[in-house]
Amino acid sequence: MTLLGPVLVILLCLAAEAFFSGSEIGIVSADQMKLRHEAAKGSKGARLALAMLKKPEWLLSTTLVGTNICVVTTTTVATAVVMQLFGESYSWLAIFFAAPLIWVFGEIVPKSVFQQLADALTTKIVFVLRTASYLFYPILLLFSGLTLLLAKIFDGEPVKNPFTLREQIFTMMGIPSAEGDILPVEKAMIRRVFNFTETTAGDVMVPLIDVVGIEHTASCGEAKRLAAERAHNRLPVYEDRIDRMVGVVNALEFMLEDEKKPIESYIHPARYVPGSKRIDDLLVDFRKEGDKMAVVVDEFGGAQGIVTLEDIIEEVVGEIEDEHDTGERNLQWIKKLGERDCLASARIECETLKEKLGISLPEGDYETLAGFLLEIAKDIPAEGITLRFRNISFTIERATEKAIQEVRIRWSPE
């Protein structure tokens, strides 16, 4: 009977240690977006958890102090029990008795359980943690002061991880709110905003094969007719070949000029940028210089395509259609022909194909449907050729000697 008291103390300390060590992992692992959602619905536990997460050093100090108190108490009592049973010379046996209990039941098992059930347990355990933080207040105050002192000594600054915020927002987009789900168009815009700073000029440029330009020796009349035909007021100007762009003309500047007058005096110097330039930096340059078009060049100085202010804006808001836009300009169209049958532009991006049709293509050194088809065909397929991938058939409806233009896509359930 004399051992009943110490055994109960050990069990109680193990339970308390399990609570503190598990709570530490549980609250940190909890989905903060779900907590905010629950807090908005009136959950006191969620509000308290969010308040504690705003001061992580206070939270971690509470669990650390609680865990250490329990470990020290368990070890001390276990040592006393061993000494009572076997004598002082065998006190070292307490290590073999207490250590497995502390590691397994006080650390490993509770941390695993609390991590798996973090969202469900967090709103319940925070009340006990808050009470413990009040009990440990003097010790926590000392820890907090010591932490700040060390931070100043080592000139440390807490860093918030932007990628954590990104993942939390992406998670939030899948959580229904009181006002209803986030609309698909809003979700797409949110994703585009986060991808904006990772997007390069090469990703959004109009490739050279689709660029409409004019020879530098052309007349104002020729430039006006081309601008009217293509519904573009700005035209890239080249020498001899389209990949040798030397500038840009604005047809509005010579609209009233003699049609035979050369355009040379109206050519503005072109802005050249590498394909690796980020579009957020390019947007800043456009605003500073008042430019609206840039020529994307490769490492040898040859033009790869052009990027406009509208191309950059569309990376956030999506495709902008105005009265001048034509079906030819919109290179990423899909026309549904049946439940699992459609006609699509070969220039449609693989990611867009997945979003709109649920068709997943393997990753590779390509971004568009045309690139994927060239990869599996190992050649430029002629019109009428059908290529197959898994349960999907791709029939080339329109193509030239240089490129695939339109593809009919048919697929069956997997």
Report if residue 122 sits inside a domain.
yes
**Domain assignment present for 238:** yes
pLDDT in tens, 251-284: 888 888 888 899 988 999 988 999 899 998 898 8
Q: Are residues 36 and 158 in the same domain?
A: yes
- 246 and 354 in a common domain: no
**Which secondary-structure segment (H or E) carries 324?**
none
Same domain membership, residue 342 and residue 233: no
Question: Are 313 and 338 part of one and the same domain?
Answer: no
Q: What is the CATH number of the domain that holds 237?
A: 3.10.580.10
Q: Is residue 404 very low, low, confident or very high in pLDDT (cuts 50, 70, 90)?
A: confident
- 108-117 long-range CB contacts below 8 Å, 24 or more apart? 109/18, 110/17, 110/18, 110/19, 110/21, 110/22, 111/21, 111/22, 111/24, 111/25, 113/22, 114/22, 114/23, 114/25, 114/26, 114/29, 115/25, 115/26, 115/29, 117/26
CATH number at residue 387: 3.30.465.10
Q: Are residues 21 and 147 in the same domain?
A: yes
Crossing angle for the helix pair 56-86 and 4-29, to the nearest 10 degrees? 160
Measured CA angle at 197 (ends 192, 203), to 5 deg: 75
Q: What is the pLDDT of residues 208-246, one digit of tens each?
A: 888 889 999 999 999 899 888 887 888 999 998 888 898
Domains of the chain: total: 3
pTM tops 0.85 = no
Measure the CA angle with vertex 237, ends 233 and 241; round to 5°. Answer: 135
Residue 172's pLDDT band, with cuts at 50, 70 and 90, is low
Q: Are residues 137 and 93 in the same domain?
A: yes
By residue range, what is the domain housing residue 218?
A: 200-317
Q: Which of the listed residues 317, 351, 375 is the one where a domain comes to its end?
A: 317
